[in-house]
C-alpha cells in the first residue's frame, strides 16, 4: 500500500534541463504530441531506433515533420473509421454499461449487480492519472464491480513519463483489474483478422504494464493478463467479445522498453541548435536535424512510423542492408551495405573465413553454374546490376 492515499507516485519526471531541451527540439510554439499506446507499442517493437525514441519523447508531431520533409505518411485512420469507432464504443458502454456487463459474463446490472462508474475528471494528464489511481484503489477496497471509462495511466518511457488512455478498465469484487479494448473491425464467425488482433494485443499489453505499476501499490489488487477485446459481430453493429491472452506481448513489451536508451543520453549527443520545429525550419534544416539522430529502419516501420518513408529513402541511398529486412541484416553479419555484399559475393572483398562471406560466394557460384547450364554466360556486371535493382 502506498503512503499516499490518493495516487500512485508518478513516473520520475525529467529534469528541468531535459524538459527544456526537449521543448527546444520540439519548437517553443509547438504543443507536445501525446504518446499513445499504439505508438508506444510500435516503439517497443523497434527499441534500437534512437530517432523515434527521441522524437516521441520530445512530443514532436512526426506526421507534420514527415510532410515537411517531403515524405508524408501514407497511413492513418480515416475520419469515417474514427466516427464509426466512436459510435460503436458508445453503444458498448450505453445504459450504464449493460452491454459490457453482458460481454463480461456478469449478467444484467438490474439483476442485483451494480456497476459503479466513477467520475475521472481532473486537470491535465497528471491530475487525471492521479484521479484514476485513486478510483482504482477505492473500487478495489469497495469489493464491487466498477467500470473506469477512459482512465488515464502513466508509464515511464526512456526516462520520460507517457500518459495512456485505454478504452475501459473493469474492477471485479476480487480485486482483479481487466483491460477492455474496443475495436471497430469485425469478428466474423467468432474470428477476427489475425494481424489486427495482434496489433490490439500489443496495444493492450502497454495498458496492462501501466496498470501493474498502480496495482503493485494497491492492497488486494491484481491485473489480469487476459484482456477483453470487443468488436462488432459478423456484419452487424452488435457487440461481441473475445478474451485475448497478452502474456507474450507483455513480456516482449517490458523487455523492449527496458532496452530503450534514455532520452537525456540521446539528446545530450546532439549538437547545439538542433531543432525539429516545422514552423521555423526549412526542409533542408529539418533533414539535417533528423540525420543527426541515428535510426534503425526496417520494412516493418512502414506500417507503424510516420517517418518510415523518409528513413527508407535514406537507407536505400546509403545502400544499407537494413532496407532488405531485419532477417537479411542478421544473416549478413559485418556486411552493412549492399555494395559490401556484392563485392564479397564476387570475391573482391571480405574475409573468406567469415561464414556470411562464404555463403555469398557459394551462392554466387551456384548462380553462375545455373546460368551456364541454361546456356547463358553471366557477365561480370550482372550481380552488381541486380544488386542496384534491389535498392
Find the mean pLDDT for residues 134-154. Answer: 94
Q: How sure is the predictor about 113, in pLDDT bands with cuts at 50, 70 and 90?
A: low
Task: Say if residue 77's pLDDT is above 70.
Answer: no
Which among 181, 177, 93 has a CA at the least distance from the CA of 139? 177
- Tell me the percentage of the chain whose pLDDT exceeds 70: 89
Please name the residues in contact with 269: beta carbons below 8 A apart, sequence gap of 6 or more.
none
User: Please, are residues 254 and 208 in contact by the beta-carbon 8 Å criterion?
Assistant: no
Q: How sure is the predictor about 126, in pLDDT bands with cuts at 50, 70 and 90?
A: very high
Residues in the chain: 391
Computed over every residue of the chain, the mean pLDDT equals 86
Q: How sure is the predictor about 4, in pLDDT bands with cuts at 50, 70 and 90?
A: very low
Which among 1, 5, 10 has a CA at the least distance from the CA of 128? 10
Task: Say if residue 384's pLDDT is above 70.
Answer: no
pTM strictly above 0.85: no
Residue 309, pLDDT score? 93
User: Please, are residues 363 and 371 in contact by the beta-carbon 8 Å criterion?
Assistant: no
Task: Say if residue 121's pLDDT is above 90.
Answer: yes
Residue 3, pLDDT score? 39
- Reduce the secondary structure of 266-304 to three states and give it as a string: HHHCCCCCCCCCCCCCCHHHHHHHHHCCCCCCCHHHHHC
Residue 233, pLDDT score? 93
Task: Say if residue 237's pLDDT is above 70.
Answer: yes
Amino acid at each position: 500500500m502506498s503512503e499516499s492515499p490518493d495516487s500512485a507516485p508518478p513516473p520520475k519526471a525529467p529534469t528541468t534541463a531535459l524538459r527544456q531541451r526537449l521543448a527546444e527540439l520540439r519548437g517553443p510554439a509547438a504543443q507536445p504530441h501525446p504518446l499513445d499506446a499504439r505508438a508506444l507499442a510500435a516503439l517497443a517493437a523497434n527499441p534500437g531506433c534512437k530517432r523515434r525514441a527521441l522524437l516521441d519523447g520530445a512530443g514532436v508531431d512526426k506526421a507534420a515533420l514527415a510532410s515537411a520533409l517531403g515524405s508524408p505518411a501514407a497511413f492513418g485512420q480515416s475520419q469515417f473509421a474514427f466516427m464509426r469507432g466512436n459510435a460503436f464504443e458508445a453503444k458498448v458502454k450505453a445504459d450504464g454499461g449493460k452491454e459490457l456487463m453482458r460481454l463480461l459474463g456478469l449478467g444484467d446490472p438490474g439483476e442485483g449487480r451494480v456497476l459503479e462508474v466513477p467520475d475521472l475528471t481532473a486537470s491535465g494528464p497528471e491530475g487525471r492519472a492521479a484521479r484514476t489511481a485513486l478510483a482504482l484503489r477505492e473500487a478495489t477496497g469497495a469489493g464491487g464491480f466498477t467500470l473506469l471509462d477512459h482512465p488515464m495511466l502513466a508509464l515511464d518511457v526512456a526516462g520520460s513519463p507517457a500518459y495512456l488512455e485505454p478504452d475501459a478498465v473493469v474492477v471485479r469484487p476480487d480485486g482483479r483489474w481487466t483491460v477492455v479494448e474496443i475495436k471497430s473491425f469485425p469478428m466474423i464467425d467468432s474470428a477476427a483478422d489475425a494481424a489486427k488482433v495482434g496489433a490490439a494485443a500489443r496495444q493492450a499489453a502497454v495498458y496492462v504494464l501501466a496498470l501493474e505499476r498502480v496495482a503493485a501499490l494497491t492492497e488486494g489488487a491484481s491485473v489480469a493478463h487476459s484482456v477483453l477485446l470487443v468488436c462488432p459481430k459478423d456484419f452487424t453493429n452488435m457487440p461481441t467479445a473475445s478474451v485475448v491472452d497478452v502474456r507474450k506481448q507483455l513480456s516482449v513489451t517490458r523487455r523492449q522498453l527496458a532496452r530503450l536508451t534514455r532520452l537525456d543520453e540521446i539528446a545530450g549527443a546532439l549538437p547545439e541548435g538542433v531543432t525539429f520545429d516545422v514552423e521555423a525550419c526549412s526542409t533542408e534544416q529539418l533533414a539535417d536535424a533528423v540525420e543527426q539522430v541515428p535510426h534503425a529502419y526496417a520494412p516493418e516501420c512502414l506500417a507503424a512510423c510516420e517517418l518510415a518513408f523518409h528513413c527508407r529513402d535514406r537507407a536505400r541511398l546509403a545502400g544499407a542492408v537494413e532496407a532488405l529486412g531485419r532477417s537479411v541484416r542478421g544473416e549478413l553479419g559485418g556486411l552493412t551495405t549492399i555494395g559490401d555484399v556484392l563485392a564479397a559475393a564476387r570475391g573482391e572483398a571480405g574475409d573468406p573465413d567469415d561464414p556470411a562471406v562464404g555463403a555469398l560466394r557459394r551462392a554466387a557460384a551456384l548462380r553462375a553454374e545455373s546460368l551456364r547450364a541454361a546456356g547463358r554466360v553471366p557477365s561480370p556486371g550482372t550481380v552488381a546490376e541486380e544488386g542496384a535493382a534491389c535498392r
